[in-house]
C-alpha cells in the first residue's frame, strides 16, 4: 500500500473542504453523539436576506419548505441547495403539505391569505382568504381540510384542501400560536395569551374543550403523539409539557431552554423535541404511553428556534443566521431584535 504523507492528507482534506464550500455546504467537524444519537452532520449555507419562521418537510422527497418573510424557499438537503421557491407570500409563517391532492398551503400574515401551490412544480394555483394574522397552518386528513390559525383574530380558518375554498371559521377564545391534528377528527391549538389548550371538532368546527395548561406559561410549540392522544407543548417558562388529549390532564414535564418556538414528535423513535432560540434542542423520550423522560439537550446555534423532523429517516433540521447589534429602542419598538446579517442564513442537519 502506498505511504500517505501528512502533507498529502492535509492537501486531500483541503480539496474536500473546497468542494463542499463551492456547493454551499460547510464542512462540519465530527461530533460525539449523546444518548439519543443525534449529532450535527451538515451545515448548508442558504444565504439571502430577511427573517424566517417555520420549516415543513415532505417525507416522500425529503424536500424542506422554509418560510423567508416574502417567499418560501424549497431546499434539497441531500444536494445542499435551494431548488425552487414559492413567490409573493408576504409575511409568510407556515407551510402545510397535502400529498393526496399534491397541494401546499402557506399562511401570509401581512395579506391575511393562504397561497395554494402545486407540491411538485411549485406553481402557484390560487389563494384563499383567512382571518387577520394567519400564523400556524396544518392539514387534517380526517376532514380533508387545511386550517390556518389566526393570532390577532383568535380564530382558525377551515379551507377545503382539494378545492381551496373556505369552509368556515372556528372561534377559539384566544390567540393561537401552533396546532396539531390527531387525524381522528380533532384539532388542538395552543392559546398563547390564555396559557390554555383548545380542542375542536374538525368536521363540525365546534370547540369541545379548553383546558388550562398551568404550570405552563405562554405556550408556543405544539406536537402530538396521535396514536396515544398525547400533546407535547413548548412553554415560555422553560418547560416541555405533556398533556392527555382526551382529558386535558397534565401528565408531566421536562425542563428546556428559553425562547421555545417549535415542538415535534417522531413516532418511529418515540422522541419528543423542543427547539429554543438560545441555541438548544431538548430531547425527551416516551418510555410508555404518556410517560416521558429527559434524554439530553443538544447544541444548535443562537436563533435556531424552529425545526422539523423527517419521520422517514429521522433527520432533524433547524435554521438560523448570524446577528449584528440590536438597533436603539424606540416607543414603537421598546425591545428591538438584533439585526440579521445578510447572506448568513444556514440550515443545520442532525442525524443519529
Taking all residues of the chain, what is their mean pLDDT, rounded to a whole number? 92
Reported as a single tens digit per residue, the pLDDT across 286-309 is: 999 989 999 999 999 999 999 999
Termini Cα distance of the chain: 33
172: cell is 377559539
How far is the C-alpha of 97 from the C-alpha of 104, rounded, in Å?
4
pLDDT of residue 9: 42
pTM > 0.85: yes or no? yes
Q: Is the pLDDT of residue 4 over 80?
A: no
Cβ–Cβ < 8 Å for 323, 292: no
Reported as a single tens digit per residue, the pLDDT across 94-143 is: 999 999 999 999 999 999 999 999 999 999 999 999 999 999 999 999 99
345: cell is 442564513
Percent of the residues in the chain that have a pLDDT greater than 90, as a whole number: 85
Reported as a single tens digit per residue, the pLDDT across 318-344 is: 999 999 988 888 888 888 888 899 999
pLDDT of residue 320: 98
Q: Is the pLDDT of residue 25 over 70?
A: no
Closest-CA residue to 27 (of 65, 84, 80): 80
How far is the C-alpha of 21 from the C-alpha of 282, rounded, in Å?
30
Cβ–Cβ < 8 Å for 295, 249: no
Cβ–Cβ < 8 Å for 77, 349: yes
How far is the C-alpha of 150 from the C-alpha of 84, rounded, in Å?
27
Q: Which residue has the cell 392539514?
A: 139
pLDDT of residue 326: 85
Q: Dihedral of CA 163/137/226/99: which sign?
A: positive
CATH number for the domain whose boundaries are 53-351:
2.130.10.10
> In whole angstroms, what separates CA 17 from the centre of its chain?
30
How far is the C-alpha of 140 from the C-alpha of 159, rounded, in Å?
10
Q: Please state whether beta strands 260-266 and 250-255 pair in parallel, antiparallel, or not at all (unpaired).
A: unpaired
3-state secondary structure of 86: strand
* Helix or strand run (H / E) with residue 153: none
Strand partners, 126: 116
Most confident of 14-18, 30-34, 112-116: 112-116
115: cell is 397561497
In the chain, DSSP finds a helix count (H) and a strand count (E) of 1, 29
Cβ–Cβ < 8 Å for 339, 324: yes
DSSP single-letter state for residue 185? S
All structural domains of the chain with their residue ranges: 53-351
Amino acid at each position: 500500500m502506498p505511504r500517505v504523507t501528512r502533507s498529502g492528507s492535509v492537501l486531500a482534506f483541503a480539496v474536500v473542504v473546497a468542494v463542499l464550500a463551492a456547493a454551499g455546504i460547510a464542512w462540519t467537524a465530527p461530533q460525539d453523539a449523546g444518548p439519543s444519537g443525534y449529532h450535527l452532520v451538515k451545515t448548508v449555507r442558504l444565504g439571502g436576506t430577511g427573517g424566517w419562521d417555520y420549516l415543513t418537510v415532505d417525507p416522500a422527497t425529503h424536500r424542506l419548505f422554509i418560510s423567508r418573510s416574502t417567499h418560501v424557499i424549497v431546499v434539497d438537503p441531500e444536494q445542499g441547495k435551494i431548488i425552487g421557491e414559492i413567490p409573493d407570500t408576504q409575511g409568510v409563517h407556515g407551510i402545510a403539505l397535502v400529498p393526496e391532492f399534491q397541494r401546499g398551503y402557506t399562511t401570509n400574515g401581512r395579506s391575511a391569505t393562504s397561497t395554494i401551490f402545486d407540491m411538485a412544480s411549485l406553481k402557484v394555483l390560487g389563494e384563499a382568504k383567512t382571518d387577520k394574522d394567519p400564523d400556524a397552518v396544518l392539514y387534517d386528513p380526517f376532514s380533508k381540510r387545511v386550517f390556518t390559525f389566526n393570532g390577532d383574530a383568535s380564530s382558525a380558518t377551515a379551507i377545503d384542501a382539494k378545492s381551496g375554498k373556505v369552509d368556515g371559521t372556528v372561534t377559539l377564545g384566544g390567540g393561537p400560536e401552533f396546532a396539531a391534528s390527531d387525524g381522528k377528527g380533532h384539532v388542538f391549538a395552543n392559546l398563547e395569551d390564555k396559557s390554555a389548550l383548545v380542542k375542536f371538532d374538525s368536521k363540525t368546527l365546534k370547540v369541545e374543550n379548553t383546558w388550562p395548561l398551568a404550570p405552563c406559561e405562554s405556550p408556543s410549540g405544539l406536537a402530538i403523539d396521535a396514536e396515544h392522544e398525547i400533546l407535547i407543548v413548548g412553554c415560555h417558562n422553560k418547560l416541555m409539557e405533556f398533556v392527555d388529549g382526551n382529558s386535558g390532564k397534565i401528565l408531566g414535564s421536562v425542563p428546556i431552554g428559553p425562547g421555545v418556538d417549535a415542538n415535534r414528535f417522531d413516532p418511529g423513535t418515540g422522541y419528543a423535541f423542543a427547539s429554543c432560540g438560545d441555541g438548544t434542542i431538548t430531547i425527551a423520550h416516551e418510555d410508555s404511553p404518556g410517560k416521558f423522560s429527559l434524554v439530553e439537550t443538544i447544541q444548535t446555534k443562537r436563533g435556531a428556534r424552529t425545526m422539523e423532523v423527517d419521520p422517514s429517516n429521522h433527520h432533524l433540521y433547524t435554521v438560523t443566521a448570524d446577528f449584528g447589534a440590536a438597533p436603539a429602542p424606540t416607543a414603537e419598538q421598546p425591545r428591538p431584535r438584533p439585526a440579521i446579517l445578510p447572506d448568513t442564513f444556514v440550515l443545520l442537519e442532525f442525524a443519529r
